[in-house]
Amino acid sequence: MVIAALGVLAGCTTDRETSPQRTATEQLMLSTAADRAAEQLTFGMPKGTKVFVDSTNFDAYDGKYAIAKIRSRVLESGANLINEKEQADAILEIRSGALSTDDHTFIVGIPSFQIPIPFAGELTFPELALFKKGTEKGVAKFAAVGYDAKTGALIHSSDAKYGFSTQTEWVVLLLVSWKNDDFRPKDEFGDPAPP
């Protein structure tokens, strides 16, 4: 019995070498949504235009990645990036309306809740789901306006473009669970590709 008990305990252990504040899943969701929004932006500038990207009004949690993606799109459009505003033919102001996640959960069963314990704090009662569908969505909203660096005249204004990424978790009869997402590479069977 002792050997069997040790086997069960060994089967329940988990090793984790690092514990970053944010998960890779969250970062992948946001960066994928940012990629998808940025890929839709148009700039309306002739090839060879010297463009300074002004990100002053671009305020987002993962803003550096998103700004780099937009700068990449400027290069792909045929324009040239300039690091000094005074040397630019055109200024491209970019802005972010959203770069975050939303959650929605539907559950048949008992959701997790806190039970106050006098003089000891709180005890978390675990979730008991006969059926659960939890959806997490990454959302990005970007826009850009380009104007002449000398005259300030409008060159092109891009309407807001949206990008989304989604992960769905399913739980059936408490124990059977799986996840689907649209932001990780998949293997030939549709499962996340191994590292």
Structural domain contains residue 96 = yes
Structural domain contains residue 195 = no
- Reduced 3-state DSSP string for the chain: CHHHHHHHHHHCCCCCCCCCCCCHHHHHHHHHHHHHHHCCCCCCCCCCCEEEEECCCCCCCCHHHHHHHHHHHHHHCCCEECCCHHHCCEEEEEEEEEEEEEEEEEEEEECCEEEEECCCEEEEECCEEEEEEEEEEEEEEEEEEEEECCCCCEEEEEEEEEEEEEEEEEEECCCEEEEEECCCCECCCCCECCC
State the pLDDT at residue 9. 46
Structural domain contains residue 14 = no
Structural domain contains residue 129 = yes
- Reading the chain (195 residues) residue by residue, the pLDDT tens digits are 444 444 444 444 455 566 778 888 899 999 999 999 999 999 999 999 999 999 998 988 889 999 999 999 999 999 999 999 999 999 999 999 999 999 999 999 888 888 888 888 888 888 888 999 999 999 999 999 999 999 999 999 999 999 999 999 999 988 899 999 999 887 644 555 554
- Domain around 114: 23-181
Please, are residues 50 and 88 in contact by the beta-carbon 8 Å criterion?
Answer: yes
State the pLDDT at residue 17. 61
86: domain CATH number is 3.40.50
State the pLDDT at residue 4. 46
Structural domain contains residue 3 = no
CA-CA-CA-CA torsion sign (103, 19, 25, 107): negative
Structural domain contains residue 192 = no
Total tally of structural domains belonging to the chain: 1
Structural domain contains residue 152 = yes
Structural domain contains residue 80 = yes
